[in-house]
Structure 1
Amino acid sequence: MIRNKRTYLTVFVIMVLFGLVACSRQPAVLTFVSDLHTPQICGALPKQPDYQVRQFTFYISGLELLIDEQWQPVDFFPTEYQAEHTAMIDLTPHCDDASVQTQVQVPLAVGYHHFSSAEAIRFAIGVPFTHNHKDPLTQPAPLNESSMFWSWQRGYKFLRWDLQHNDTGHGWSFHLGSVGCTSASALRAPTQPCSSPNQVTISMKKDSNDGYIFVEAQKLLNDVNLDNSTGCMFHLPEEADCQPLLNHIQQPWITWLNR
């Protein structure tokens, strides 16, 4: 009888240990949520409900965790939406078709236990220069998304935000990417970094371990009159909204969310 009890106890301990090991190997996951997905205003801006979101997509790269006062680089777990160093976040609301899935979850190539030790997190909105000017037809996901590509010379749109007025059809767009990229033609990749890379670093304190990140898109539009603007796509120097948007995107519009 004692031997059986010891056997059961041994088996139980082994099972617990295996469970702990399995849990520690589970990848940590970041989940992005936004102010564009509340049931009352699905797809509409919280403060400008006459405008509907047509696309809201951005790339993140260079993710790091602050552990014991040291920033440690962390790769992404490769999926159909992300490669080792770059992930795509697609927060485009699909209010009329619930079957269309947005891309809001980012598995990390690090275990949950390691992730829980982090005090802060940071990443860039952008694509690394070494990948930014390659042919999207030969790139792995998520850099094979043609709607996010300008040209070999200019590279990718790091963030694409398209709006349309419900009644007038007036369109507004913010396409963030590198400018000042020099090469022989638009079909040639530059050999040196662009003069204005326009990659934005997002840094935040990690207040919990649930991995939820809140994207408050409305904050980007402070002091921007949508009715009197077509936005900023870095096509012309006189695009008046470019500088305000570049200023706002440096502010804390992406933050850690405690649920």
Structure 2
Amino acid sequence: MNTLRQASISISIIASALALSACGGSGSTAAPSAPVYPATMPVSINFDLLANGGVAKCGTPISGLGSRGTTADLKDARFYVSNINLIDANGKQVPVTLTANDWQNEQVSLISLIDGTGTACGGTTLPTNAVIVGTVPGAAYTGISYEIGVPETLNHTDYATAAKPLNVAAMAWSWTSGRKFLKLELNPQGGVNVVRTNTTTTPATTTTSNAATWNLHLGSGGCTTNATTGAYSCTNANRMQVKLANFDYTKQKISLDLNALFAGSDLTTDTAGAAGCMSGTTDDECKAIFNAFKIDLPTGNPTSAGVQSVFVARNK
């Protein structure tokens, strides 16, 4: 009888424990509730320049740049950003609605990272902008995509009459009737050795000169206007596509890595075209630059040859 009584008591205890568990009693763990997001959330996307693991800026020489490890002073650093999307947990690209201000309109934002510090950078204090601001629908976001460039519908407007941020004379590109999408200029110590070979003479002759600045100007090429409609068209769009699959705008910023961008470039020598790369399809100095941008130099179209590593996500 004792054995049967003990078994009955044990069964009763087990049943009671199961009942408590089913009712959320002591020891139970409630399933975590899904996060609740507002209908609209503000978003701020921060940018800076990166060199040798730290922030690059005017007035401080940057060492170890390019294929020859050149030291150079920053002269200019600005770029237009458009078609900005955050990427949600399902991989869907969700457009960022830009907040209009002096640095951005509803379609494009100008990032300007030159503060005027130092002789090379102008020597006069300049306003800067390192952030894009806007709103997105409330949700969890894990990445970002955007374009370095001005939308075609805005690119050929007259900068002299355009509203901000498209009214910047330094970003206008007169011979292509558009804008410089990205403008990076460096003054290498010792200057740029400009070498030109004339193959029309027998024997061929070579001349050399020195330029102070290595210019990188990214913009559309092969642009012409329709004599009847006045509309522009360009054979080479040259808009850089950027996608960072892992980016948290609340904790991270986006850095333009100068070491990665100029890794294949000799900043001390120039052999064709203007000193540096101005998006010319036959400019030898543009080959390494466009490869870093993942833009096909002959056509101006994005390439599928790997993922760009020029823009990187870093902790704020």
TM-score w.r.t. the length of structure 1 is 0.78
Structure 2 stretches lacking a partner, 5+ long: 1-35, 192-210, 295-307
Question: Residue in 2 aligned with 1:149?
Answer: 172
The residue identity in structure 2 corresponding to 1:91 is: L
**2:141 aligned counterpart, secondary structure:** coil
Q: Of residues 199, 217, 237 in structure 1, which corresponds to 2:239?
A: 199
Question: Residue in 2 aligned with 1:226?
Answer: 267
CA spacing shift, 1:101–1:138, aligned 2, 3 Å: closer
**1:32 aligned counterpart, secondary structure:** strand
The residue identity in structure 1 corresponding to 2:134 is: L
**2:216 aligned counterpart, secondary structure:** strand
Bigger Cα displacement from structure 2, 101-110 vs 169-178: 101-110
Please list the CA deviations of residues 119-171 of structure 1 after superposition, one character each: whole Å capped at 9, or x if unmatched. Answer: 21100000000000011122111100011011384310000111113444621
Q: Of residues 55, 58, 64 in structure 2, which corresponds to 1:47?
A: 64
Question: Residue in 1 aligned with 2:183?
Answer: 160
The residue identity in structure 2 corresponding to 1:170 is: A
The residue identity in structure 2 corresponding to 1:258 is: N
Q: Is the 8 A contact 2:225 2:233 kept in 1?
A: no
Q: How does 1:66-145 map to 2 (within 5 A)?
A: 66-67=87-88, 68-92=90-114, 94-96=116-118, 100-110=126-136, 114=138, 117-145=140-168
CA RMSD of aligned residues (A): 3.0
Give the count of matched residue pairs.
233
**1:252 aligned counterpart, secondary structure:** coil
| Structure holding more strand per residue | 2
State the shift of 1:24 in Å.
7.9
State the shift of 1:34 in Å.
1.7
Say if 2:231 is the partner of 1:214: no
State the shift of 1:33 in Å.
1.8
CA spacing shift, 1:183–1:206, aligned 2, 3 Å: same
The residue identity in structure 1 corresponding to 2:285 is: D
Question: Residue in 1 aligned with 2:290?
Answer: 246
The residue identity in structure 1 corresponding to 2:213 is: G
| Structure holding more helix per residue | 1
Distance in 2, Cα, partners of 1:101 & 1:199 = 26
Q: Of residues 68, 72, 86 in structure 2, which corresponds to 1:65?
A: 86
State the shift of 1:93 in Å.
5.1
TM-score w.r.t. the length of structure 2 is 0.65
CA spacing shift, 1:41–1:107, aligned 2, 3 Å: closer
State the shift of 1:200 in Å.
0.5
State the shift of 1:109 in Å.
2.9
The residue identity in structure 2 corresponding to 1:34 is: L
Question: Residue in 1 aligned with 2:200?
Answer: none
State the shift of 1:73 in Å.
1.4
The residue identity in structure 1 corresponding to 2:286 is: C
State the shift of 1:247 in Å.
0.6
State the shift of 1:52 in Å.
0.7
